[in-house]
């Protein structure tokens, strides 16, 4: 039974939410494995828009199991809020189960304060984070001082861990960032309250996934962010604090790597980036503004405008390699409608005129590189109603075909609008 991982191939916001919602139809278990509520995954079903930050994008379907894996960092405030909002909107189906790993690390109030204070400080280099405490929470996880979901059910241990953490965090908050100190008792009281609210959802999620696999169920792993925000393989230091590549689907959900059979990379038909960092194909002209306006490129989490540019196949090829992508899903094709010429970056040229097809580890070099473009003719016809590849204008088909050639990965799907049904499906990753 094939299991599928869905990951971003760019700098996030490729449309993972829409595709995970769509692929949930053929899945039984949908698991988030990394990141936290820095993610903003948008689903549009029957014209109704839902933005999820933490809960897997399979939640709108009935009879599914949705999992927040051990690799996710969880802000319990957001988790509780998201459940309440779904319930209020009648969007939490009666037979769908939601579980959160007892091993997941918690985002604590000091993580959020430190994230924001660091970004605001003139001494630190601004990353343009979402300010949700993601980096500081992962730091504590790796430093072995993190507080996990399971710690919420042992009050003595929770207080002890909090006191130990606060010795250091308060020193930073007051001494370095001129903020007021926090008290362990107050945080413990707040988090013990959350503990009761989230208790029905807490489970050994690795075991749940394993049991589901043993009984022939299909698993869909939902990535957050994108390949170039990966802590190892991204444009460091302008990255997020987790591994976003598909390999982490195994680690972040507690199963072995051989359980993942297909990896679908979500690739926007152009490129966007939120926050700081190099972006070789960025367009600061009229065309960039048009893409931003038509594509409504504003962050689903922070509302910040997304920087826009041409599709960069150097980035996509690297994503195919680092995530073992077996197929691509092209999204937001409709946004390119009306452009006379569409450019695809096929390589970079260095200052000395040397051509390269690799993203350099030293991002200062990337900032100096000039993109080398291939130009394709655009199309004028509205493609929102296209449901088969043959419905696309010839030039749109050529664009898709060229992406397939340049990426070396099969195209599984072309998305022509935000709605679930606004999709051209070429292959089903659970079948072939």
In the complex, the residues that contact ligand GDP under the rule CB under 6 A are: 8, 12-18, 39-42, 44, 300, 331-332, 334-335, 415-418
Dihedral of CA 313/319/325/327: which sign? negative
> What's the CA gap between 195 and 344, in Å, rounded?
49
- The answer to whether 57 contacts ligand IMO (rule: CB under 6 A) is no
C-alpha 364: how far from its chain's center?
25
* Residue 334 designated active-site: no
241 binds, among ligand GDP, Mg ion, ligand IMO, none (CB under 5 to 8 A by kind): ligand IMO
Minimum distance from residue 16 beta carbon to Mg ion (Å): 7
275 binds, among ligand GDP, ligand IMO, Mg ion, none (CB under 5 to 8 A by kind): ligand IMO
- Among 3, 13, 220, 221, the residue binding Mg ion under the rule CB under 5 A is 13
Minimum distance from residue 342 beta carbon to ligand GDP (Å): 15
**Residue among 28, 41, 115, 312 flagged as catalytic:** 41
**Residue among 13, 28, 230, 334 flagged as catalytic:** 13
Helix, strand, coil percentages (3-state) for the chain, rounded to 5, are 35, 20, 45
Q: Which lies closer to ligand IMO via its Cβ, residue 13 or residue 21?
A: 13
Minimum distance from residue 140 beta carbon to ligand GDP (Å): 25
* Contact positions with Mg ion (CB under 5 A) in 23-82: 40
* 248 neighbors 138 (Cβ within 8 angstroms): no
Q: Which range, of 6-14, 87-95, 96-104, 344-352, touches ligand IMO by CB under 6 A?
A: 6-14
- Alpha helical stretches, state H, 171-242: 184-198, 205-214
In b/e form, how buried is each residue of 290-322, taking b as 16+ CB within 10 angstroms? bbbebbebebbbbeeebbbbbbbbbbbbbbbeb
Q: Which of 109, 81, 80 is nearest to 202 (CA)?
A: 80
* Contact positions with ligand IMO (CB under 6 A) in 218-237: 224-226, 229
Dihedral of CA 312/313/314/319: which sign? positive
- Among 32, 64, 105, 132, the residue binding ligand IMO under the rule CB under 6 A is 132
C-alpha 307: how far from its chain's center?
17
Q: What is the DSSP string of 150-189?
A: GGGG-HHHHHHHHHHHHHHHHIIIIIIT------HHHHHH
Bridge-based pairing state of the strands 41-45 and 48-52: antiparallel
* Residue 53 designated active-site: no
Minimum distance from residue 162 beta carbon to ligand GDP (Å): 32
Spell out the residues 6+ positions from residue 168 whose beta carbon is closer than 8 angstroms to its own: 145
400 binds, among ligand IMO, ligand GDP, Mg ion, none (CB under 5 to 8 A by kind): none
Q: Which residues pair with 249 in a beta bridge?
A: none
For 152, the token pair is: 């919420």
128 binds, among ligand GDP, Mg ion, ligand IMO, none (CB under 5 to 8 A by kind): ligand IMO
Spell out the residues 6+ positions from residue 178 whose beta carbon is closer than 8 angstroms to its own: none
> What's the CA gap between 162 and 195, in Å, rounded?
15
Q: Which range, of 11-19, 105-113, 176-184, 335-343, touches ligand IMO by CB under 6 A?
A: 11-19
Minimum distance from residue 87 beta carbon to ligand GDP (Å): 22
Q: Which lies closer to Mg ion via its Cβ, residue 270 or residue 399?
A: 270
Crossing angle for the helix pair 184-198 and 155-170, to the nearest 10 degrees: 130
Q: Which lies closer to ligand IMO via its Cβ, residue 129 or residue 205?
A: 129
Minimum distance from residue 13 beta carbon to Mg ion (Å): 4
Assign 112 to helix, strand or coil: helix
Assign 342 to helix, strand or coil: strand
- Count of residues that interact with ligand IMO, criterion CB under 6 A: 24
Minimum distance from residue 372 beta carbon to ligand GDP (Å): 27
Q: Which lies closer to ligand GDP via its Cβ, residue 16 or residue 218?
A: 16
Residue with tokens 């003719």: 377
Crossing angle for the helix pair 109-120 and 134-143, to the nearest 10 degrees: 120
Q: Which lies closer to ligand IMO via its Cβ, residue 75 or residue 158?
A: 75
Q: Which lies closer to ligand GDP via its Cβ, residue 18 or residue 307?
A: 18
- Among 43, 44, 274, 366, the residue binding ligand IMO under the rule CB under 6 A is 274
Q: Which lies closer to ligand IMO via its Cβ, residue 41 or residue 317?
A: 41
Minimum distance from residue 94 beta carbon to ligand IMO (Å): 28
| Residues found near ligand IMO in the complex (CB under 6 A) | 8, 11-13, 38-41, 127-130, 132, 134-135, 224-226, 229, 240-241, 274-275, 300
Q: Which residues are catalytic?
A: 13, 41
Binding site for Mg ion (CB under 5 A): 13, 40, 300
């Amino acid at each position: 039974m094939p299991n599928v991982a869905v990951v971003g191939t760019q700098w996030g916001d490729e449309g993972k939410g829409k595709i995970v919602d769509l692929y949930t139809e053929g899945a039984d278990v949908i698991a988030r494995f990394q990141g936290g509520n820095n993610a903003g995954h948008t689903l549009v079903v029957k014209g109704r828009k839902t933005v999820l930050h933490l809960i897997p994008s399979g939640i709108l379907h009935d009879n599914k199991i949705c999992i927040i894996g051990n690799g996710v960092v969880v802000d319990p405030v957001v988790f509780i809020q998201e459940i309440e909002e779904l319930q209020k909107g009648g969007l939490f189906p009666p037979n769908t189960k939601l579980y959160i790993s007892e091993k997941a690390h918690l985002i604590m109030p000091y993580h959020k304060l430190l994230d924001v204070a660091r970004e605001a400080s003139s001494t630190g280099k601004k990353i343009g984070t979402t300010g949700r405490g993601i980096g500081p929470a992962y730091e504590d996880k790796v430093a072995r001082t993190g507080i996990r979901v399971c710690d919420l059910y042992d009050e003595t241990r929770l207080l002890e861990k909090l006191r130990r953490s606060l010795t250091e965090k308060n020193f930073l908050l007051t001494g370095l960032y001129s903020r007021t100190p926090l008290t362990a008792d107050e945080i413990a009281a707040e988090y013990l309250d959350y503990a009761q609210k989230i208790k029905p959802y807490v489970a050994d999620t690795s075991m749940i996934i394993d049991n589901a696999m043993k009984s022939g169920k299909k698993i869909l792993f939902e990535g957050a962010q994108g390949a170039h925000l990966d802590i190892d393989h991204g444009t460091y230091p302008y990255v997020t604090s987790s591994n976003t590549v598909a390999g982490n689907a195994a680690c972040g959900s507690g199963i072995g790597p051989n359980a993942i059979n297909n990896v679908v990379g979500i690739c926007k038909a152009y490129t966007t980036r939120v926050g700081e960092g190099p972006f070789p194909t960025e367009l600061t002209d009229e065309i960039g503004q048009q893409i931003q306006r038509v594509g409504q490129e504003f962050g689903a989490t922070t509302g910040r405008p997304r920087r826009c540019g041409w599709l960069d196949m150097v980035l996509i090829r690297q994503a195919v390699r680092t995530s073992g992508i077996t197929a691509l899903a092209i999204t937001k094709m409709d946004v390119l409608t009306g452009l006379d010429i569409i450019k695809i970056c096929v390589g970079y040229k260095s200052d000395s005129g040397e051509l390269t097809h690799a993203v350099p580890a030293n991002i200062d070099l990337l900032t100096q590189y000039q993109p080398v473009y291939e130009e394709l003719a655009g199309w004028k016809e509205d493609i929102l109603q296209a449901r088969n590849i043959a419905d696309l204008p010839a030039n749109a088909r050529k664009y898709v075909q060229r992406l397939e050639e340049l990426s070396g990965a099969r195209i599984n799907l072309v998305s022509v609008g935000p709605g679930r049904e606004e999709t051209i499906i070429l292959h089903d990753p659970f079948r072939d």
